[in-house]
Amino acid sequence: MKIRWRLRMAAAQREVWTGTELRRLLAERAGLELSAASVSALLTKEPSQIKLSTLIALCTALDCTPDDLFEVDTTPVERLVVPPRPVASEPKTATARGRSMPPM
């Protein structure tokens, strides 16, 4: 499964063209204060993770849903079938019978 981050597209559809505009909307509409660098990173990079509170704030600021911010490719991935490794058996020894109780 592959996920594509579409924040820039969602923002453009709402005529939000700069990080400064998005930062202002986040503060005004969602009460989220992010640094200019953080907003820039959200717009220019695909994040490997995102806080749920940030996602909710983005949706509130842009009046959208998470579906507008992510595109999920659910095409099944073909995986190579690897045969299982044989399990090595333990060597049998004279002490493998168990232990006796210590003398009392």
Residue 64 lies in a domain: yes
Contact 55, 66 (CB under 8 A): yes
Query: What residues contact 89, with CB distance under 8 A and at least 6 apart?
Result: none
Residue 47 lies in a domain: yes
- pLDDT at position 55, please? 95
CATH (domain of 21): 1.10.260
Q: Mean pLDDT score of the chain, rounded to an integer?
A: 86
Residue 57 lies in a domain: yes
Phi, psi of 72 (to 5 degrees): -105, 125
Residue 84 lies in a domain: no
| Nearest-angstrom CA–CA distance, 58 and 56 | 5
| Count of structural domains, the chain | 1
Residue 9 lies in a domain: yes
| Nearest-angstrom CA–CA distance, 55 and 86 | 47
In tens, the pLDDT along 22-55 reads 999 999 999 999 999 999 999 999 888 999 999 9
Q: Is 80 exceeded by the pLDDT of residue 66?
A: yes
Q: Which domain holds residue 63?
A: 2-73
Q: How far is CA 36 from CA 12, 45, 77, in A?
A: 18, 14, 37
Residue 82 lies in a domain: no
In tens, the pLDDT along 4-25 reads 899 999 999 999 999 999 999 9
Q: Which region holds residue 75: left if phi is over 0, alpha if psi is between -120 and 50, else beta?
A: beta
Residue 32 lies in a domain: yes
Residue 80 lies in a domain: no
